[in-house]
Structure 1
Amino acid sequence: MGILYMDSIILIGYIASFFCSITFVPQAIKTLKSRQTDDIALNMLLFSFIGNSCWLIHAISLGITPLALSASMILTFNTPILIMKLSHMYKKRFTQIELQVKA
C-alpha cells in the first residue's frame, strides 16, 4: 500500500471522472443541433442537476478534485439541455394558452 498504489487509485478516480463527465456530451450535441427536447425526460435532467450540484459542493468542501471535475463537467453539459427543455415547455404552454384565448 505504497505511493504507487495511491497513485493508481488517484488515476482511477480521474479516469472515472472523465467517463462520467462525457455521458451528457452526445445528448448535448444532439439537442443543441436539433433544438428538440421532447424526448428528454425533465425529471432526469433535474435529478442530475441537483445531484451533481450536491456532489460539486461535497467535493470542493473535501478537496476531492476528480469528483469536483466530474460534477462540474456534467453540470456544464446538463445545464444547457435543462434550460432548453424548460424553455420549450413554457413556449409550448404559452402557445396552447394563446390558441385557447383566440378560440
Structure 2
Amino acid sequence: MYEQSLARRGFVADPSQRRAVERLQRLFEEWGAYKARRNTALKRLLVKPPLPKGVYLWGAVGRGKSFLMDAFYLCVPLVRKRRVHFHHFMREIHRELEGL
C-alpha cells in the first residue's frame, strides 16, 4: 500500500519514512495480536496482556508524517477511532490543562 500511495501521488521513497512505515506495520500487527488475545469476555477478565506501545513520528515539515498517519488511520480496523493532527491535539491538551 505504501509503495502504491507514493506512486499515485508522485512522491519519492525516503529511508526515514520507510523505517516509520515498518514501525507502523509492527504496531498494526501488535494491535491485531492484542485484540486476538482478548477476543472473548472470559479472556478479557482473565488475561491482561500489555497494550501495544504507540508510535511518535517527528521530523521536519514536508517529510510525510501526516501522509503516513492518514494511511495508517485508514488501515486500522477499529470502529471507534479519531485522527487528530499534532497541532490540534496540542491545542486540546492546553485547553484541558487550563481547565484544571
Quickly name the TM-score band, shorter chain normalised.
0.3 to 0.5
Q: Normalising by structure 1, what TM-score?
A: 0.32
With CA pairs under 8 Å and 6+ residues apart, which has the higher RCO, 1 or 2? 1
Rg bigger for which structure? 1
The structure carrying a bigger helix percent of its residues is 1
